[in-house]
Structure 1
Amino acid sequence: MLYDLITRFGLEYISPFNLFRYITFRAGAACFTAFFLSLWIGPYIIAKLHKIQRDGQPIRALGPERHIKEKAGTPTMGGIMMLFTLTFSTLLWSDLSNGFMWIMLFVTLGFGLIGFFDDYQKLAKRNTDGLSKRTRLGGEFLISAVAAFGLQAITPPDIANHIALPFFQNLMIPLGYFFPIFGMVVIAGFGNAVNFTDGLDGLAIVPVVIAFLVFALIAYLVGNAVFAKYLFLHFVPQTGELGIFCAAIIGAGLGFLWFNAPPASVFMGDTGSLALGGALGAVAVAVKHEFVLCIVGGLFVVETLSVIIQVAWYKRTKTRVFLMAPLHHHFEKKGLSESKIVIRFWIVAIMLGLIGLATLKLR
């Protein structure tokens, strides 16, 4: 919004308005805006959620026993706070003529809406069932498909239907008509992967922030012809602006962590986890770094695989591979404290983020 106003009146070359020409400046401003806005409105939103929900988020009866005692009464739907702050910050600091930004907001808010209805159903029924799997997945795949086709349409034709491989210089694999299906699976898949990871105070939000920090840099490099050529990356015009979107999510995520730090005052719920995961998948598809996302977001991948393995193995043998799935609950059942699990998972996320960054140079 500010960028568009400044360029409309031709002020972008006049100091100090010339700062708005730089994505790095606007990304930093977006991050700080989302963070401080979260601190400002957070107490009000949490108080409202407390008042409306009363008994807070329903706790899974078959989960770790201490959750029923320690987390009972904690409100959910804290993702509303993040959705508001990241949307406001993105619209305030980004170039509104950039099609990539609108697709990112479409996915984020669309997945957030599905998560909101899922959380609402859980609160209304006072159980952990929520929306039916068919309804939820149907909505996710519909939004993901629209986004994938949209990204295909605004990406240059020579790379629109291609995916890139890490560690190889300018190597891209053409998928043709299958690209939208691939993009749809990545977006919906990571939406659910982050959702599976969100089970302990602060567990999901820090790896999400780390992943978006990595992809803010990737988007900036891929969207810059000079840097892309130097690093042997494929150049995707206008994706540099996605660095502002990623920065807004980082600020919103850190602001949410302020209230979600143990013991959590609020949970993000599916409203937040689905939205953040979907946004992460959409950014990766836009910048053609889907496989790097599997490295950077490896923690989310492992958490999802633990659920798939547990369900498949139990249906086949009636026995369990893990004491409980997702994986973080397995470690809880083994007696590890919540803080130790969360911090160790953060460490893993940091290391995976560094490996993901290394792929930009190791080609």
Structure 2
Amino acid sequence: MLYHLLSELSEQYQMFNLFNYITFRVGGAVMTSMLIAFIFGPKLIDVLRSKQGKGQPIRLDGPEGHIIAKAGTPTMGGLLILVSLVVSTLLWGDLTNPFLWVVMLVTVGFGAIGYADDYLKVSTQNPQGLNSKIKLILEFLIAAAAVYVCVQSTPAADGYHTGLAFPFLKDFTLNLGIFFIPFGCIVIVGASNAVNLTDGLDGLAIVPVMIAAASFSAIAYLVGNSVYSSYLGIPYVPGTAEIVIVLGALLGAGLGFLWYNAPPAMVFMGDTGSLALGGALGSAAVAVKHEIVLAIIGGLFVLEAVSVIVQVASFKLTGKRVFRMAPIHHHFEKKGWAEPTIVIRFWIIAVILALIGLSTLKLR
């Protein structure tokens, strides 16, 4: 909105030319979303606490000890992230850009599914929430629409719009054809649910999400610039640089939310936040043609999801559990690790994986 109003004044007033630069606007998006989260966070937490009563229901089979002390903590804090992200993006983004809308609408759509899930959990005091099959169907429908728009908005030369790029390989893409749409859906839905599984300790999910968002901001900026993408030998997709605005708003909103989610958490993001944030990362990766790199940068989320898959498969096939509890962060809780120890060490892993993922941009 500000972009459309003020960039047109750049011909008369040179100072408004700043709004034509993505780097300036992403700074504005970060600060705006962060301030919104800081200012409205306490009020939202008070409202959630008064409406929810007992707060998020605690799993009876969960880790003993400190988890009991968290009973009564309100959930749905992801609303703070979503409101901050949407308002900031609308203010600073180019609203004619299809990739911006893809990432933002996937984020909001998945957030709405998460909200319904959280609402059922709180209102019935049942950890099960929304039926898992219904959740997946809705997620795949939203993801399919998003991938379709990405395909239509990407240059179709040599089947590039349905191509899969590989890290460490220069100027090579595997054309998946019609199968790119289901592949893209799996990436988006998988990323969303992987972040959801990671969200189990105070601050555990939000910081790795911010690290991944910052990494993909850099990737989106480079992919959307013909000079940089040609120099690095990475896919060039015109228009994807605008995704940086959404991811910048996510980063700022995440910082604001972390202020209230830092141990001991005043609020949980809930599925409202975790499904939305994972969807944002997944849709951004599909748009910039770096789906495999997402598995590297978001390797922590992959590890959490794989630990659940391995645990379930092992128990069904052999009747034995590989981990003391899944997702894997609960395994370390069961081993006696303190919550801050687990969280900070997982943050360190997320930083290392992000650096490895970003290195693929040059090592080709």
In structure 2, distance between residues paired with 1:277 and 1:109: 11
Q: Does 1:272 align with 2:273?
A: yes
In structure 2, distance between residues paired with 1:353 and 1:32: 23
Letter in 2 for 1:355: I
Letter in 2 for 1:207: P
In structure 2, distance between residues paired with 1:260 and 1:172: 41
In structure 1, distance between residues paired with 2:126 and 2:348: 33
Secondary structure of 2:315's partner? helix
**Residue number in structure 1 paired with 2:4:** 4
**Residue number in structure 2 paired with 1:102:** 101
Displacement of 1:16 = 1.1
Kindly indicate whether the alpha-carbon contact (under 8 Å) linking 1:61 and 1:68 is maintained by their aligned counterparts in 2: no
In structure 2, distance between residues paired with 1:43 and 1:73: 16
**Residue number in structure 1 paired with 2:227:** 226
Residue-by-residue CA offset, 1:95-120 (whole Å, 9 max, x unaligned): 01101111111100100000000001
In structure 2, distance between residues paired with 1:179 and 1:113: 25
**Residue number in structure 1 paired with 2:213:** 212
Kindly indicate whether the alpha-carbon contact (under 8 Å) linking 1:12 and 1:19 is maintained by their aligned counterparts in 2: no
In structure 1, distance between residues paired with 2:12 and 2:54: 55
Secondary structure of 2:65's partner? helix
Note the residue ranges of structure 2 that are not aligned, 5 or more in a row: none
Counting matched residue pairs gives: 362
**Residue number in structure 2 paired with 1:126:** 125
Residue-by-residue CA offset, 1:198-218 (whole Å, 9 max, x unaligned): 000000000000000000000
In structure 2, distance between residues paired with 1:115 and 1:66: 27
Q: For residues 1-363 of structure 1, what are the structure 2 equivalents within 5 Å?
A: 1-7=1-7, 9-11=8-10, 14-158=13-157, 159-363=160-364
Q: Percent of pairs identical after alignment?
A: 58
In structure 2, distance between residues paired with 1:274 and 1:12: 42
- TM-score when normalising by structure 2: 0.98
Kindly indicate whether the alpha-carbon contact (under 8 Å) linking 1:57 and 1:74 is maintained by their aligned counterparts in 2: yes
Letter in 1 for 2:124: K
Displacement of 1:234 = 1.4
Kindly indicate whether the alpha-carbon contact (under 8 Å) linking 1:75 and 1:267 is maintained by their aligned counterparts in 2: yes
Secondary structure of 1:163's partner? strand
In structure 1, distance between residues paired with 2:79 and 2:198: 18
Secondary structure of 1:324's partner? coil
In structure 2, distance between residues paired with 1:247 and 1:16: 22
Runs of 4+ off more than 4 Å: none
Kindly indicate whether the alpha-carbon contact (under 8 Å) linking 2:9 and 2:16 is maintained by their aligned counterparts in 1: no
Secondary structure of 1:139's partner? helix
Residue-by-residue CA offset, 1:166-189 (whole Å, 9 max, x unaligned): 011111110000011110000000
In structure 2, distance between residues paired with 1:243 and 1:305: 29
- The answer to which of 259-268 and 145-154 deviates more is 145-154
In structure 2, distance between residues paired with 1:150 and 1:228: 22
Secondary structure of 2:10's partner? coil
- The answer to which of 340-349 and 95-104 deviates more is 95-104
Displacement of 1:14 = 2.8
Residue-by-residue CA offset, 1:56-87 (whole Å, 9 max, x unaligned): 11010000112442111100000000000000
- TM-score when normalising by structure 1: 0.98
In structure 1, distance between residues paired with 2:219 and 2:173: 17
Displacement of 1:10 = 4.1
- The answer to which of 153-162 and 289-298 deviates more is 153-162
Kindly indicate whether the alpha-carbon contact (under 8 Å) linking 1:12 and 1:20 is maintained by their aligned counterparts in 2: no
Displacement of 1:6 = 2.2
Displacement of 1:36 = 1.0
Kindly indicate whether the alpha-carbon contact (under 8 Å) linking 2:102 and 2:149 is maintained by their aligned counterparts in 1: yes
Secondary structure of 1:254's partner? helix
In structure 2, distance between residues paired with 1:117 and 1:234: 37
In structure 2, distance between residues paired with 1:155 and 1:170: 16
Change (3 A) 1:330 1:100: same
Letter in 1 for 2:71: A
Secondary structure of 1:11's partner? helix
Secondary structure of 1:88's partner? helix
Letter in 2 for 1:197: T
In structure 2, distance between residues paired with 1:212 and 1:167: 21
Change (3 A) 1:222 1:265: same
Letter in 1 for 2:312: V
Letter in 1 for 2:336: G
Displacement of 1:11 = 2.4
